[in-house]
Amino acid sequence: MSETSAPLPRGESEFIHSGLTTASCRLVSAPRVAESHAALECKVVEIVALKDRRGEPMGNYLVLGEVVAFHIDDRFIHDGVFDAAAARSLARCGYQDYAVSTSFTPWRARRAAVAANSRERSGRWRPGARQIRSARRRCGRSSISPSSATTPAPGDASTRRGSRGLARPPPGSA
């Protein structure tokens, strides 16, 4: 990974420098890495010049793109989903640190399962003890309980949304 982001002279190929093989893309002119188990083809949507806290240009850019095509090795599709752990996907942790995934449980999937289980038992999601303690600390009050901190049903305008998604009772009701 580090070899592909080496500060090479303009026009020198990162593919040749790192020993990787190129593969053609279908919708963009740039090549992709043939050895990769998954690759995205993206088209640039916007380039943002980054600024420091004083508003001065930093000389760095954020490039936003739209995925227009993707390539996935069929060996890593299980039940219609890309298996990042089986593909031993790499994660950049910062600086020169990387991690190889050997197990992968998306947080949103775990949260959705917990929420679905809670809804089955009570008819709607209720925050757990940890969320209630956190809300009590943030709000500086101890009157938040599972019944008063219930997330409103869709379209329910009787409660206002509070910080971090917990609902606050309407003014005067607590």
In which residue are the tokens 């050895």 written? 35
Based on the structure, what is the number of domains in the chain? 3
In a domain, 170, yes or no: no
Mean predicted confidence (pLDDT) in 38-46:
95
CATH number, domain of 35, equals: 2.30.110.10
In angstroms, the first-to-last Cα distance of the chain is 55
Instruction: Give the pLDDT band of residue 137 (cuts 50, 70, 90).
Output: low
In a domain, 160, yes or no: no
In a domain, 94, yes or no: yes
Instruction: Give the pLDDT band of residue 56 (cuts 50, 70, 90).
Output: very high
Look at 27 and 151; give whichever has higher pLDDT.
27
Tens digit of pLDDT for each residue in 87-98? 988 888 877 788
Same domain assignment for residues 6 and 68: yes
Please name the helix (run of DSSP H) or strand (run of DSSP E) that holds residue 14, with its range, or none.
Answer: helix 14-18
- Name, in order, each residue with C-beta under 8 angstroms of 76's C-beta and a sequence gap of 6 or more: 37, 38, 82, 83, 86, 87
Q: Which domain holds residue 100?
A: 73-104
CA distance 101 to 44: 28
